[in-house]
């Protein structure tokens, strides 16, 4: 028997649901792709990525058989690149262990790499019509306000309370519509700031609306302190037009993406000439081979989750493109082919302004204001 909450929500959904391509399919592969893309991503930003991804990789076999570099390139600019690496890994597992057929039980789906409780519930609900409630940030906000929960919404105990309530109100025969309606309500009506309570279908029984607590709920835990990081990038260019790039292969941000050779420091200072020469010597270049110019030092950081990245760039012109290191992850490439590789968004400013690299360019050395 449907609850008053679900009845009101589903009536609203009948006329107000968003028109999105992944809502028109029962294909678990496409639903999986959409859910992973929409993690930490707004719908407006994620939609074109979804369309391009499905166009290039229409099924799990196509994704599994693609090189990881191509997957990362298609993901370029979307951020949180571990999502793309996990997609590729899981597609290969489904190809090899499930004969290319997406698993259809909650336990099997949840066991896949990169899939948590929310994504597993979404796939089971939207692809298979099973009554598994979804609990993402939007839903947590709706439930916390509706029930008047004053405990931090990201605590396991609070989420257990939310899931128990959702399991009691989700209609077994319309679980997919119920979950979609909850997501839409949080995305379009029960907004983080200035919620539209006057058009909310469940406002009548909402504790936050009755007690004017919308600005206080949901309660958030303390935010982790931001960490400052200082990256020094080297644009090492040969007269023939080749530039040195390397692939990030450590377990850190942007793993698997490409960048210019880089030194990270712990202090907000420029590299000394001796430090620069030591780094170039490590790559196999002698001081006589190089001509150094400092191009730019950023004043505003590139903000990631809990990290602020400050950058400085150095232009190094060399007369020989011979590396004295043996590493498949670092190599010269024609500058005209840089677009074939996936780079962090941080480096797009340089990639899209090759005039900065030209010998004789009026270089600048911007100093940041001290905090």
Q: Which residue has the tokens 């200035």?
A: 194
The yes-or-no answer on residue 35 being catalytic is yes
What DSSP character marks residue 39?
T
Question: How many Å from the N-terminal Cα to the C-terminal Cα in the chain?
Answer: 60
**What length does the chain have?**
371
**330 near 245, Cβ under 8 Å?**
yes
Distance of alpha carbon 299 from alpha carbon 116, whole angstroms: 37
Own/partner contacts of 334-340, CB < 8 Å, gap of 24 or more, are 334/241, 334/242, 335/237, 335/241, 335/242, 335/243, 336/241, 338/243, 338/245, 340/73
Tokens of 165: 């309530």
Q: How many helices, marked H, and strands, marked E, lie in the chain?
A: 14, 8
Helices (H), 202-318: 207-211, 273-283
- Determine which one of 35, 70, 107, 108 is catalytic: 35
Which residues are marked as active site?
Answer: 35
């Amino acid at each position: 028997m449907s609850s008053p909450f679900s009845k009101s929500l589903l009536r609203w959904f009948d006329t107000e649901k968003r028109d999105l391509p992944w809502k028109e399919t029962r294909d678990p592969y496409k639903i999986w792709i959409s859910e992973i893309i929409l993690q930490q991503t707004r719908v407006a930003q994620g939609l074109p990525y979804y369309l391009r991804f499905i166009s290039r990789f229409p099924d799990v076999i196509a994704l599994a058989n693609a090189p990881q570099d191509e997957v990362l390139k298609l993901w370029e600019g979307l951020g949180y690149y571990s999502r793309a690496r996990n997609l590729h890994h899981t597609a290969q597992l489904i190809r090899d262990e499930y004969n290319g057929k997406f698993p259809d039980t909650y336990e099997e789906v949840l066991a896949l790499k990169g899939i948590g409780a929310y994504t597993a519930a979404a796939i089971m609900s939207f692809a298979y019509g099973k009554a598994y409630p979804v609990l993402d940030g939007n839903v947590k906000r709706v439930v916390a306000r509706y029930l008047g929960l004053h405990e931090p919404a990201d605590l396991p105990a609070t989420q257990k309370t939310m899931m128990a309530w959702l399991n009691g109100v989700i209609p077994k025969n319309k679980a997919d519509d119920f979950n979609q309606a909850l997501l839409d309500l949080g995305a379009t009506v029960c907004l983080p700031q200035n919620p539209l309570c006057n058009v909310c279908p469940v406002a009548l029984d909402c504790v936050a609306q009755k007690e004017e607590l919308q600005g206080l709920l949901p309660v958030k835990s303390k935010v982790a302190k931001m960490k400052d990081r200082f990256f020094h990038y080297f644009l090492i260019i040969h007269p023939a037009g080749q530039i040195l790039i390397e692939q990030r292969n450590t377990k850190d941000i942007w793993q698997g993406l490409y960048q210019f050779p880089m030194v990270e420091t712990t202090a907000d200072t420029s590299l000394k000439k001796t430090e620069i020469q030591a780094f170039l010597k490590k790559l196999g270049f002698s001081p006589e081979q190089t001509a150094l110019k400092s191009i730019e030092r950023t004043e505003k950081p590139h903000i990631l989750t809990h990290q602020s990245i400050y950058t400085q760039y150095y232009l190094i012109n060399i007369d020989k493109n011979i590396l004295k290191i043996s590493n498949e992850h670092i190599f010269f490439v024609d500058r005209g082919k840089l677009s074939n590789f996936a780079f962090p968004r941080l480096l797009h400013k340089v990639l899209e302004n090759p005039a900065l690299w030209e010998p004789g360019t009026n270089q600048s050395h911007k100093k940041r204001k001290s905090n």
